């Protein structure tokens, strides 16, 4: 699942398409504990199945270790640990996934460990509540809250998805290692 952006051809039709694209966001949705989260699709290189992680000494507790991903050493960050989510996973370790991030996110190869990856989705910009991201006075890594309508027992409710800025969330990792 490699995200590539192609250069648009300058025509009248393209400007309408570009405007429409700006009104939508594409994200990779995943689960941590019982909550739904998302990261920008263009920050993701691929999603791989869980594999054995080699632990590293003297690293922050949320750095689980490293894996050999097709000949490249990739650091694995436990996103639940990084976000201080203590809730146990509802899935087994075998269902866990590693979201390998695009090379532009950090100086080194990084993957984030999540409980499960659910989908790649496109949302309208008006489905995102950006004001909820500023709950804390401190610098936050939450871009916004995505609201999706779902049906539960013939009742329509809003499912909330926390859209995180993965680059900011992991910005201090290269400097701590």
pLDDT of residue 23: 87
Measure the CA–CA gap between 142 and 133, rounded to whole angstroms.
5
pLDDT of residue 166: 94
Q: When comparing pLDDT for 48 and 172, which is higher?
A: 48
The model carries a pTM of 0.80
Q: How does residue 173 score in pLDDT terms, banded at 50, 70 and 90?
A: confident
CB 134 within 8 A of CB 140: yes
pLDDT of residue 71: 94
- State how far Cα 62 lies from the chain centre: 16
Kindly tell me if the per-residue pLDDT of 24 is higher than 60.
yes
Q: How many CA atoms lie within 13 A of 36 on its CB side?
A: 16
Q: How does residue 109 score in pLDDT terms, banded at 50, 70 and 90?
A: very high
* CATH architecture of the region 12-176: Beta Barrel (2.40)
Query: Residue 64 burial by CB count (10 A; 0-12/13-18/19+): exposed, middle or buried?
Result: buried
What is the residue whose two structure tokens read 């610098």? 139
What percentage of the chain has pLDDT greater than the value 90? 55
Kindly tell me if the per-residue pLDDT of 138 is higher than 60.
no
pLDDT of residue 86: 85
Per-residue pLDDT reduced to its tens digit, 52-105: 999 999 999 999 999 999 999 999 999 999 998 888 766 667 779 999 999 888
Kindly tell me if the per-residue pLDDT of 168 is higher than 50.
yes
CB 116 within 8 A of CB 17: no
């Amino acid at each position: 699942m490699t995200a590539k952006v192609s250069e648009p051809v300058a025509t009248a039709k393209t400007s309408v398409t570009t405007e429409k694209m700006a009104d939508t966001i594409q994200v990779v949705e995943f689960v941590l504990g019982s909550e739904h989260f998302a990261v920008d699709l263009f920050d993701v290189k691929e999603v791989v199945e869980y594999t054995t992680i080699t632990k590293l000494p003297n690293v922050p507790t949320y750095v689980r270790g490293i894996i050999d991903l097709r000949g490249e050493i990739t650091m694995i960050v436990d996103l639940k640990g990084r976000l201080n989510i203590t809730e146990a996973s509802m899935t087994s370790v075998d269902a866990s996934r590693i979201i390998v991030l695009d090379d532009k996110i950090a100086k080194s190869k990084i993957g984030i460990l999540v409980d499960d990856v659910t989908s790649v989705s496109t949302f309208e910009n008006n489905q995102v509540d950006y004001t909820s991201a500023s709950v804390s006075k401190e610098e936050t890594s939450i871009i916004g809250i995505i609201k999706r309508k779902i049906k539960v027992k013939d009742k329509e409710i809003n499912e909330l998805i926390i859209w995180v800025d993965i680059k900011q969330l992991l910005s201090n990792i290269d400097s701590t290692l």
